[in-house]
Structure 1
Amino acid sequence: MTDRRANRGATVSTVLGRRLGGELLRMREACGLRQPHAAEALTSSVAKVAKLERGLVPMRDPDVRALCHLYGVNDEAVIDRLLKLAKADRDRRKAKGWWDQYPQLEAMAEYFALEEMADQVRAWELSFVPGLLQTPDYARALAVGNHDWADIEEVEPFVEARMKRQDRLTGKRPLQLWAIMHEAVLHQLVGGRGVMRAQLSRLLEMAELPHVRVQVLPYRVGAHPGMTSAFTVLSFSEAGALDVVRTDTLAVKLWLESEADAQHHSAVFDRIARLSLAQRDSSKLIDSVRKEM
């Protein structure tokens, strides 16, 4: 178990690594060089260059400088930005976090690490309250209802981990959270009326925080650009780090890391936000549904 978790910690997040490798790949192609040329400059193998360009392994500062020299990049500002990217990626790969206490949730480790490092999360949900705003009882009822657990005892670690994530909303560097939910989320009786009343109260409480924005997309909007799927956009402050999009289906959890994907999902999120009720009106609707329960 120890070795497996250590290996996971080394590769838990490669978003910045892929960003750095992608930039160096474009530089190499722009000057008409191939991977063997880069391998010779680094006195390494072509296989290693391929891994570096795909962000699969961390990159040392001397390697960054050597490749920049090979590709004719002499601008110190550009080189400095790439070096900062490389350092941020190395630091993140080595980082251990609270999620290491939950080996049952290994599939979520990369998301937990990214969320821990993110400065802003924008979440659009069609069917349930975003995890960062869930109460323990709501999270538990959701997990049991999904029937995703072969062993029911794994539900409690899942609930504990979901609550631990919420520390980011109250710590020294609070996460900026913008959550938009379809009105159907408010009416779905996850766990029954008592659980839902407490969950809706929790939404109203969290919406009062200055760094949390909660909006509801009402039924009356009709067709809207978010009907296809729910998604989450994570944003980072590190130099050169692009937004990252996560979207889940029944079959697979997808990471979308290209600039085009990030811009597209950000634009869709903004359109959904414009169609949604303002935060004050959203809170009024949440409170109205809560009182009906």
Structure 2
Amino acid sequence: MDRPKPNARKRLLANKLRRLREDAGLTQVEAGEPMRFNKNKMSRIELGHLPDYNGFLALLDRYGVIVSDYDEWISQYDRAWEKGWWHGYGLNDLGYVPLEADADEVRTYQLGLIPGLLQTEPWMRAAFGGTRDPMSGRRLENAVAVRRRRQTRLTDDPPLLLHAIIDESALRRADLLPNEQCAQLEHIIERAQLPNVTVQVVPFHHGLHNGRDGSFTILSYPRLAEPDIAYVEHGFGSLQFEKSKDVNAARLIFRHLADLALDEPDSIALIRRVIAET
């Protein structure tokens, strides 16, 4: 039976344990020998299947972490086992929300939708109701509540950094009543005034480009000193990319799209023209 995939916090802590082992110059077999952790167990630990508390402390000792530094490591260990706020809305520790919750910066390109962090509630409801499995009732209300809570990160202290590149087609979708659509576009302009938010638009006249392959998001974790993660959501699931070559490819495409897109003042001017035409 397959083990459930560890949540983002466990995987991030596991990556730190792996780096501690490597810095200590130990193989997995050498590191686990005093605790009688075999190579398979050590491999699982470094994939995010953390050991019990005593095993965790034993690893810190094995890697030469001094006792006076334990408090920070124990705090990270406790956090890795905590249930995030999203559990209260029926979500588990997998998927996008837990990844974003620990991120300090989000770079996202959206081909056909307004980014979730910039959506108004009418847009959210239209998006959740327009899927193959339309949401309704409590499920819909929970989904809206989760998205609204995610958006508070833009004004929290410290605020989440957001760089959103939006294809012009997403601005012109007729999914809402005209007044609701205008309110959505005005909301994007308002959010773009925040110092931590950058909005760019890729206009129609660029024709075919790399962004036509689909939307994607890059999440960064400088406070945790962890590598970036690239995330792609598609019609029947999602993919997370953590290997450096994959994330670097995502960064290159994002930079290409940022160069291709209008700068922020011209992007806001285009959004205002769309409002006037709605």
TM-score band, normalised by shorter chain: 0.7 to 0.9
| Residue number in structure 2 paired with 1:51 | 44
Task: Report SS of the residue matched to 1:243.
Answer: strand
Work out which of the residue numbers 168, 174, 185 in structure 1 matches 2:153.
Answer: 168
Q: Which amino acid aligns with 1:44?
A: F
| Residue number in structure 2 paired with 1:72 | none
1:57-68 matches, within 5 Å, as 57=50, 60-66=56-62, 68=63
Deviation at 1:38, TM superposition (A): 3.5
| Residue number in structure 1 paired with 2:272 | 287
Work out which of the residue numbers 15, 19, 30 in structure 2 matches 1:19.
Answer: 15
Query: Is 1:90 aligned to 2:108, yes or no?
Result: no
CA distance in 2, matches of 1:225, 1:25: 39
Deviation at 1:194, TM superposition (A): 2.5
Identity of aligned residues (%): 31
Deviation at 1:168, TM superposition (A): 0.3
1:119-130 matches, within 5 Å, as 119-130=104-115
CA distance in 1, matches of 2:135, 2:171: 29
TM-score, normalisation: structure 1: 0.81
Q: Which amino acid aligns with 2:234?
A: T
CA distance in 2, matches of 1:231, 1:84: 36
Q: Which amino acid aligns with 2:87?
A: D
| Residue number in structure 1 paired with 2:216 | 231
CA distance in 1, matches of 2:198, 2:145: 24
Cα-Cα RMSD: 2.9
Deviation at 1:225, TM superposition (A): 2.0
CA distance in 1, matches of 2:276, 2:135: 36
| Residue number in structure 1 paired with 2:132 | 147
Work out which of the residue numbers 117, 120, 129 in structure 2 matches 1:132.
Answer: 117
CA contact (8 A) 1:19 1:240 kept: no
Change (3 A) 1:159 1:16: same
CA contact (8 A) 2:210 2:253 kept: yes
Aligned residues: 270
CA contact (8 A) 2:128 2:135 kept: no
Q: What do residues 217-257 of structure 1 show as CA deviations (whole Å, max 9, x unaligned)?
A: 01111222222121111111235400111101222211111
Deviation at 1:53, TM superposition (A): 2.1
CA distance in 2, matches of 1:93, 1:48: 18
CA contact (8 A) 2:14 2:48 kept: yes
Q: What do residues 153-174 of structure 1 show as CA deviations (whole Å, max 9, x unaligned)?
A: 4112111111111110111211
CA distance in 2, matches of 1:161, 1:137: 14
Q: Which amino acid aligns with 1:253?
A: S
Deviation at 1:89, TM superposition (A): 4.5
Deviation at 1:285, TM superposition (A): 0.5
| Residue number in structure 2 paired with 1:117 | 102
CA distance in 1, matches of 2:23, 2:155: 41
Change (3 A) 1:128 1:196: same
Change (3 A) 1:84 1:146: farther
Deviation at 1:37, TM superposition (A): 3.8
CA contact (8 A) 1:123 1:233 kept: yes
CA distance in 2, matches of 1:212, 1:42: 48
Task: Report SS of the residue matched to 1:154.
Answer: helix
| Residue number in structure 2 paired with 1:182 | 167
Task: Report SS of the residue matched to 1:209.
Answer: coil
Deviation at 1:150, TM superposition (A): 6.3
CA distance in 1, matches of 2:245, 2:134: 35
CA distance in 2, matches of 1:186, 1:52: 45
CA contact (8 A) 1:140 1:155 kept: yes
CA distance in 2, matches of 1:212, 1:150: 29
Unaligned runs of 5+ in 1: 1-7, 70-75
Work out which of the residue numbers 154, 167, 185 in structure 2 matches 1:200.
Answer: 185
CA distance in 2, matches of 1:111, 1:246: 8
TM-score, normalisation: structure 2: 0.85
Q: Which amino acid aligns with 2:203?
A: P
Task: Report SS of the residue matched to 1:210.
Answer: coil
CA distance in 2, matches of 1:134, 1:261: 28
Deviation at 1:274, TM superposition (A): 0.5
Change (3 A) 1:85 1:229: farther
CA distance in 2, matches of 1:64, 1:276: 47
| Residue number in structure 1 paired with 2:89 | 102
